[in-house]
Amino acid sequence: MSKEKYMAYIGSYSYTGNAKGITVCDVDVEKGTFTKRTEIEVNNSSYLVASRDQKTLYSIADEGVVSFRILENGALQKLNTQNIRGMRGCHLAIDQFDQYLMVSGYHDGKATLLALNPDGSVGPIVDGVFDKGIGSVAERTFRPHVSCARMTDDQKYILVADLGIDQVRIFRFDKVDGRMRQIDTLRCELKSAPRHFRFSPDRKFLYLMYEVKNVVDVYRFTEGKRPNDINLEKIQTISTHNDPSNSPLIAACQMRFSPDKDAKHLFVSNAGIDTITMYERDVETGLLTMKSSLPVSGVYPKDFCIFPDEKHIAAANNESGTITFFSMDYDTGMLVMSARDIPVDEPNCICMVKLPSGK
């Protein structure tokens, strides 16, 4: 039997001139490490995402979104660039069927929905909405900053988190005319800054992470019998860290599930104290239990990825310019540094992709 092969793609800012944009790395799953292979030029790759079929990689760039075909050896072949008619985005998300791409606009408060072509290239803009309103405090939470936008797996709804105005807007998506129509708003606590959210694999629970409030809210997600009748019932609020100082400089950065089909664990990274927190997730109730919150040996863990063996984790430390590697013990919650770090200038995002078997 051929051994499964994985690649890791790391997006970086390129404006400093020290990074080209995307760093391509070979992955050793057993050792839990990356080996740098080459770099691909992209203007300020602030976020990366792979298609669900693992054949295409998408990157944010100054000019919009860039798509690449992932070749059998892990190399990237550019497909196209698509303008989003807005400022550079900060987050990308793909629907379950590789038909749509959501772009979140931190700088202009815009959520943009694009179509994806059958060959993986980015098609035209389907719809786009600008958030409006004024936040609660100056600077970061003073005006709209869309930080995360995702479509539900049934393609019926699109949720848009805005950490600037402390809201998650809920849209009904009509595939017939391609329009996003707002049907509800989840109003969050002032100065909480909702940054990222994810649905559980069974879509029964929504996990919403707040950058400033430093908590994860767990909601039970249900639909009524009438169109547009949805309900989000908050069932838990849990801290993103266990630091007793609760410093105002702590900022929750990223949230990801473990790669098992039931997502039995959830992870959150925290800047300021530079930690990754591991939670155990009860699949039936949706509730989280913190197992640990431990340092990542780097500064500003803006993103991280969990290896497919679920035994290792890699942290992208934006300010220290490193990728650090740890082994994980789910029983004890321990993270133990397992390899030497590798230098990558201002890493923003890690995207791990499985290559075709035997290649």
CA 229, CA 185: separation in Å to the nearest integer? 12
- Gap between the Cα atoms of 26 and 294, Å rounded: 26
| Structure confidence by residue, pLDDT tens digits, 91-143 | 999 999 999 999 999 999 999 999 999 999 999 999 999 866 555 554 554 57
Which pLDDT belongs to residue 128?
94
Token output for 132 = 């409006």
Residue 162: name the closest of 139, 182, 142 by CA: 142
Domains (range + CATH), the chain: 6-354 (2.130.10.10)
| Least-confidence region, from 211-220, 250-259, 300-309, 349-358 | 349-358
* Contact by Cβ (8 Å): 104, 145: no
Q: What are the φ and ψ backbone dihedral angles of 141, each rounded to 5 degrees?
A: -115, 45
Note the pLDDT of residue 1.
37
Residues 6+ apart with CB under 8 A from 145: 106, 107, 109, 162, 163, 164, 165
**311-339 burial: b if 16+ Cβ within 10 Å, else e:** bbbbbbbbebbbbbbbbbeeeebebeebb
- Kindly tell me if the per-residue pLDDT of 336 is higher than 60: yes
In the block, residue with structure tokens 């050792």 = 31
Q: Is the pLDDT of residue 285 over 90?
A: yes
Q: What is the pLDDT of residue 142?
A: 55
Mean pLDDT to the nearest integer, 219-226? 89
Stated pTM of the model:
0.95
Average pLDDT over residues 231-253: 94
pLDDT at site 66: 98
Does position 89 have pLDDT exceeding 80, yes or no? yes
Question: What is the pLDDT at residue 3?
Answer: 79
pLDDT of residue 222: 94
Query: Look-up: residue for tokens 């075909």?
Result: 69
Amino acid at residue number 7: M
Q: Chain-wide mean pLDDT for the chain?
A: 93
What pLDDT, on the 0 to 100 scale, is given for residue 227?
74
* 32-82 confidence digits (pLDDT tens): 999 999 999 999 999 999 999 999 999 999 999 999 999 999 999 999 999
Identify any residues that bridge with 167 across adjacent strands, giving them in sequence order. Answer: 162, 187
